[in-house]
Structure 1
């Protein structure tokens, strides 16, 4: 299927270094809430009805949900796949599959894509939708696309002009104000052997989404921070890391700290970024592969290719809240019995390495969900232009708090034949939405207190 160019002619794709530009005109922004949803998705369904019209998201928990529980039942548990894609019919559906999905279908007869009816479950709080309308005409891209100006809490660019704006929408995606979970990360090697990489307690906060916040973000304001304390396996127990990202990474670059029990001190860790191999995945991913993509945008030129209908993991409650990790980590690929795929419209962004910049990936393709702006999948290519790795985020909407979540994510290394899946929180009681940690708890010094064997 050819890419459908949904970019609006009235929008000017301009992003010159050190010059700020408004996103779209008031006339273009008026489409929000009419032909477009409040976050810029197409409100209408597709031609054959396989993607339904947007109706505001899933606003009522299923009857099986117990109020206050951190384990969220699948509201669509009774549905059956309407299409099953395997190696035999993969070519017929190739236009709707990522390169990584197609490669897995070709390699492994046991891999399949179970396509279920599409449900547009994602809905955001009204305050954020109101701010998004203001952002459409008020938020500006700056520093050659590497920073933002005048962004209110909400989607910064609901009608994006270019790839940088689309990627900023992913970076500032709404997933609640603060979350906490205990999770496992597993590595499965080419022989099919699964090894526990880490068990950890993680706190994630999106400071711009403080409910009391009403002012635009300043250059030094943090939009993301996370703190992880590892409790297992024994060789990593006691380690801890802290990472924080600011709205303007040129003026306030990513800062990272690490605590190692053997050294008994907290130290700056500037390498927790870009293509530094992530030890938690045994090197099968980089630090900026987490959540499909994270960190600064300065090493790539991002091109917005348009929209496309694709099969992506969606409403993956069965996987995210599954209580037995051994059932998930099957040889060669995640257990297809647990993964729900749906047809959704995604924004496609192509990233090419800038001249003079360094990264192990020469090109990356990202697929951003139109309803949440979460990156649901990616394809990564090596220096020779060969498909190298591919990742997926498993989105499940937390209907009790009106926030999507994709902390369960994974990556396939197609060269080594291994994969890593992280954010497995079902065995540990699910996902919690919490009050943010105190200023003292977010200090680097606090890592030494959490890093206890």
Structure 2
């Protein structure tokens, strides 16, 4: 099996290498800014569709909810009446391999029931106009030096057309969401299909939405478990810096058994989070988050790929988790894949650094600069973990976010699906939240720790 995975990887990376040669052209930041809203979207993607007509032009994205919609209905699928154009499976994946990640091909090879229904592409990404304005301003001054960034603070996309892997990663880690509150579930699923539910609630506010405004802070985060009983009363506080070369993540944990707050320096990198059965590392969340210093980051290029997109079906409130869980991940009938342009970034472990993943390949949606797929490799260089981060546009908030994201272990068939909201009260998300900096302190975590 491992040899087959290596062949798949080799073919795909060879294709990428050819495409990469002409994919990224060095341009000054002013040149890029002058093109925003013209041949580039306000967020830096190619405005035009592709020559084949299989990717349409961007025309502003999805900015209005369906007629009659209200937040208490959850995110209704605006494309519910569409049927797949075709389905990719183990038998025909060779015909589409130039547009498939090695991870997805490995899943189809290992699990015949896993397939990819491919739908018409809709470029639904959209941000509020004020965020586009911030991007235009910030992109003119933002610079990277090594792994650091200068001339930038959230919000806005710092590098609308990234020229290297570090710039592409800053686009992802600083992507706009403003602030939100959500209670969601994750399921550690074993190879035999058994699972249990972990409930986790988040209160996240980006620096620009905080009072007073937090300069140099990407977000402040409170998180706590509401299931299972063994994890109740555990609370996290995280304050994430914009530039890890200038500051460190500040993290604290409240343990209800000890009834005290302590610093949590291990809430980073490849440390394992409680309730994940070892199937998700801290920096797996959202595709990648945290410091960049353990890897070298290469921008391989831009290419057209099938990625999980407009995945509203995965949020259907009528679905129960037991109906969604399958072999190789969530059942394919609930997935939706579309053809989109992505930036491909390859991270390889730096000399002297350690991580359970020796290499990661990240596939970043060109429109939103959000990771949609990722492949992880073990210390021997074998494909080990496959990550899917299906994208959804919050048409009431001007935010594209990830739902029902999955980390799959190819060696044992276990996987972890996070950010499920189907069995949660609606609305599952409250967007455009603001915060008081005094409510995101160690003292505040003590006040919240009532158990």
Q: Call closer, same or farther: CA 1:28–1:330 in 2, change over 3 Å.
A: closer
What SS class does the counterpart of residue 343 from structure 2 fall into?
strand
Indicate the RMSD between aligned Cα atoms, in angstroms: 2.0
Residue 247 of structure 1 is aligned with which of 231, 242, 245? Answer: 242
Aligned partner of 1:343 in structure 2 is 339
Alignment of 1:132-171 (within 5 A): 132-142=135-145, 144-151=146-153, 153-171=155-173
What SS class does the counterpart of residue 393 from structure 2 fall into?
strand
Answer yes or no: is the 8 Å Cα contact 2:188–2:415 preserved in 1.
yes
Deviations, residues 132-190 of structure 1 (Å, cap 9, x unaligned):
12222211113x12334334520000011100000000001112x11111111101101
Aligned partner of 1:178 in structure 2 is 179
Answer yes or no: is the 8 Å Cα contact 1:141–1:147 preserved in 2.
yes
Note the C-alpha offset of 1:25. 4.1
Answer yes or no: is the 8 Å Cα contact 2:138–2:151 preserved in 1.
no
Aligned partners of 2:397, 2:241: CA distance in 1, in Å?
26
Q: Which shifted more, 422-431 or 259-268?
A: 422-431
Deviations, residues 342-364 of structure 1 (Å, cap 9, x unaligned):
11100000001111111111110
Aligned partner of 1:47 in structure 2 is 51
Aligned partner of 2:227 in structure 1 is 232
Aligned partners of 2:83, 2:403: CA distance in 1, in Å?
25
Aligned partner of 2:124 in structure 1 is 121
Q: Call closer, same or farther: CA 1:147–1:427 in 2, change over 3 Å.
A: same
Aligned partner of 2:278 in structure 1 is 283
Note the C-alpha offset of 1:207. 1.8
Aligned partners of 1:251, 1:70: CA distance in 2, in Å?
43
- Is the counterpart of residue 353 in structure 1 residue 349 in structure 2? yes
Kindly tell me the number of residue pairs found equivalent between the two proteins. 432
Residue 258 of structure 1 is aligned with which of 232, 239, 253? Answer: 253
Aligned partner of 1:223 in structure 2 is 218
Gaps of 5+ in 2: 1-11
Answer yes or no: is the 8 Å Cα contact 2:329–2:406 preserved in 1.
no
Residue 409 of structure 2 is aligned with which of 413, 438, 445? Answer: 413
Aligned partner of 1:205 in structure 2 is 205
Note the C-alpha offset of 1:316. 0.6
Note the C-alpha offset of 1:212. 10
Q: Which shifted more, 326-335 or 47-56?
A: 326-335
Aligned partner of 2:8 in structure 1 is none
Q: Which shifted more, 286-295 or 329-338?
A: 329-338
Q: Call closer, same or farther: CA 1:311–1:264 in 2, change over 3 Å.
A: same
Answer yes or no: is the 8 Å Cα contact 2:24–2:302 preserved in 1.
no
What SS class does the counterpart of residue 438 from structure 2 fall into?
coil
Q: Which has the higher helix share?
A: 2
Residue 293 of structure 2 is aligned with which of 298, 313, 327? Answer: 298
Answer yes or no: is the 8 Å Cα contact 2:32–2:160 preserved in 1.
no
Q: Call closer, same or farther: CA 1:232–1:271 in 2, change over 3 Å.
A: same
Gaps of 5+ in 1: 12-23
Q: TM-score, normalised by structure 2?
A: 0.91
Note the C-alpha offset of 1:70. 6.3
Aligned partners of 2:68, 2:238: CA distance in 1, in Å?
37
Q: TM-score, normalised by structure 1?
A: 0.91
- Is the counterpart of residue 404 in structure 1 residue 394 in structure 2? no
Aligned partners of 2:55, 2:36: CA distance in 1, in Å?
19
Answer yes or no: is the 8 Å Cα contact 1:180–1:434 preserved in 2.
no
Answer yes or no: is the 8 Å Cα contact 2:345–2:362 preserved in 1.
yes
Answer yes or no: is the 8 Å Cα contact 2:142–2:151 preserved in 1.
yes
What SS class does the counterpart of residue 371 from structure 1 fall into?
coil
Q: Which shifted more, 442-451 or 356-365?
A: 442-451
Deviations, residues 245-267 of structure 1 (Å, cap 9, x unaligned):
11121322011111111111011
What SS class does the counterpart of residue 427 from structure 1 fall into?
coil
Aligned partners of 2:347, 2:280: CA distance in 1, in Å?
17
Answer yes or no: is the 8 Å Cα contact 1:256–1:269 preserved in 2.
yes
Aligned partners of 2:200, 2:59: CA distance in 1, in Å?
37
Residue 433 of structure 1 is aligned with which of 431, 434, 440? Answer: 431
